[in-house]
Copies of this chain bind each other. A is one copy, B any other.
Amino acid sequence: MIGTSAFLGIPHRRIATLLDAVAPEPGSSGRSAESEALEARFARAVLSTMIEPGDTDAGALMGALGPIEAARCVVDGVDAADLLARVGADPSSARQRSRLTGALERWRARGSAEAGARALEMAAHVHARLLAPEDAGWPQGLPSLGAGEPVALWVRGDPTRLERLDRSVSLVGARAATGYGEHVAMESAAGLGDRGFAVVSGGAYGIDGAAHRAAVASGHVTVAFLAGGVDRLYPAGHSDLLRRVGDTGLLIGELPCGSTPTRWRFLMRNRLIAAVSGATVVIEAGHRSGSLNTAGHAAEMGRPLGAVPGPVTSPASAGCHRLIREYAATCVTTVDEMAELADPIGAGRDAGYPEGADPDSPDGVVLSAVRAGRGGDPEDLAHTTGLASRHVVAALGRLELAGAVRLTGRGWEAAP
């Protein structure tokens, strides 16, 4: 299917090779793909070198033309008036023409087809994948086209873990965390992991780092959204930690490899953290902390927002108290309260459900095994039931919320 033709001046054959190395699933793109699918993926890689996160002009262009034509317009150059006419807008509006001309110049100045090719090579070098909205693993809950949808996501780590975002909690907070805040972050991350939740955060010093670290240490999946390329492990002091997050969980960025984080990119990254998870919990935040930005995104998007209280004498908790007072954040004090915030429907759905549980569902199988005294740790249960251990962990989380099982000093047991 791949001929000798080219797209944006890059031969299809080279594009196929580049995309093959960053395919989210083997065979999902690359040599075997239709040339239109191939061009669409490559267009996203190119546009991702050109467009800052949250650029609504770019969203409008992609919405009107699709990625392939949008990339052609920017790379090959097009007159703003012609473009306006093509998308059905008024080509004689000076204001619209001037705005679009400015956007085209801005995008063209930042990236290129060759920059897209280089970003793909750099991604392949760190075993990162290119994820597009049409891919199966694209996280639920991200902003849609027109509302700031990312052009693409760049992902390091086993892409099958992306489905874990469906049951996840974002734990965020101040870089200048206190011992109290870090303690709460670590207990929360480990406890949420025990209940089958993936922990999402931003990889920063302080609360973020404590949350990732505890999740990794207790063998749970954790996801770090980075403000730059996923090949740039920022901050430098967290490069070892972030490497381990990538090995056992996921590193995800909206910017292509090679991009450095900027203040704007941190703020835009925060919207992804708020968007992908079932709930956002702020553990510590000063009165004007950047974590309040993440919280603001969560509230704007109607996502459940929690804040952990702390001593009123601690400035590091002032932002959390402000969220509770002024933004109607839920005061959360335990892992169970965080889990309930993220999955109230699950908690409701599962209440009283174990009795009539489908014995062939993962929950039914796990519950039967636990009731038969085959509890212990999730690995034992995975062995006994033949289920993947992440399905066992998720089932235990749901069963615990439903009050059917509980974690004791001897491992998982049926609740009395």
Q: Taking the complex as formed, is A369 at the interface, i.e. its CB lies under 8 A from any CB of chain B?
A: no
Q: Taking the complex as formed, is A180 at the interface, i.e. its CB lies under 8 A from any CB of chain B?
A: yes
Closest-by-CB residue of B relative to A188 is: B312
Beyond A309-B331, A321-B333, 7 extra complex contacts between A and B, CB < 8 Å: A180-B311, A183-B313, A309-B324, A311-B311, A312-B333, A324-B331, A331-B331
Q: Taking the complex as formed, is A310 at the interface, i.e. its CB lies under 8 A from any CB of chain B?
A: yes
Q: Determine how many copies of this chain the complex contains.
A: 2
The residues of A with any CB-CB pair to B shorter than 8 Å are 180, 183-184, 308-313, 317-318, 321, 324-325, 330-331, 333-334, 337
8 residue pairs of the A-B complex, CB under 8 angstroms, read A184-B313, A308-B312, A309-B310, A309-B321, A310-B311, A311-B311, A318-B333, A325-B330
Closest-by-CB residue of B relative to A317 is: B309
Q: Hey, which chain B residues are within 8 Å of A333, CB to CB? A: 312, 318, 321, 325
A184–B310 alpha-carbon span in the complex (Å): 13
> Which residue in B184, B324, B334 is a CB contact (below 8 Å) of A324?
B324
Closest-by-CB residue of B relative to A187 is: B313
Give the distance to chain B from A126, nearest Cβ to Cβ, in Å: 38
Give the distance to chain B from A309, nearest Cβ to Cβ, in Å: 3
5 shortest interchain CB distances as A-B pairs: A309-B309, A312-B333, A324-B331, A321-B333, A325-B331
Give the distance to chain B from A379, nearest Cβ to Cβ, in Å: 30
Q: Hey, which chain B residues are within 8 Å of A317, CB to CB? A: 309
> Which residue in B308, B309, B312, B337 is a CB contact (below 8 Å) of A184?
B312
Q: Hey, which chain B residues are within 8 Å of A310, CB to CB? A: 309-312
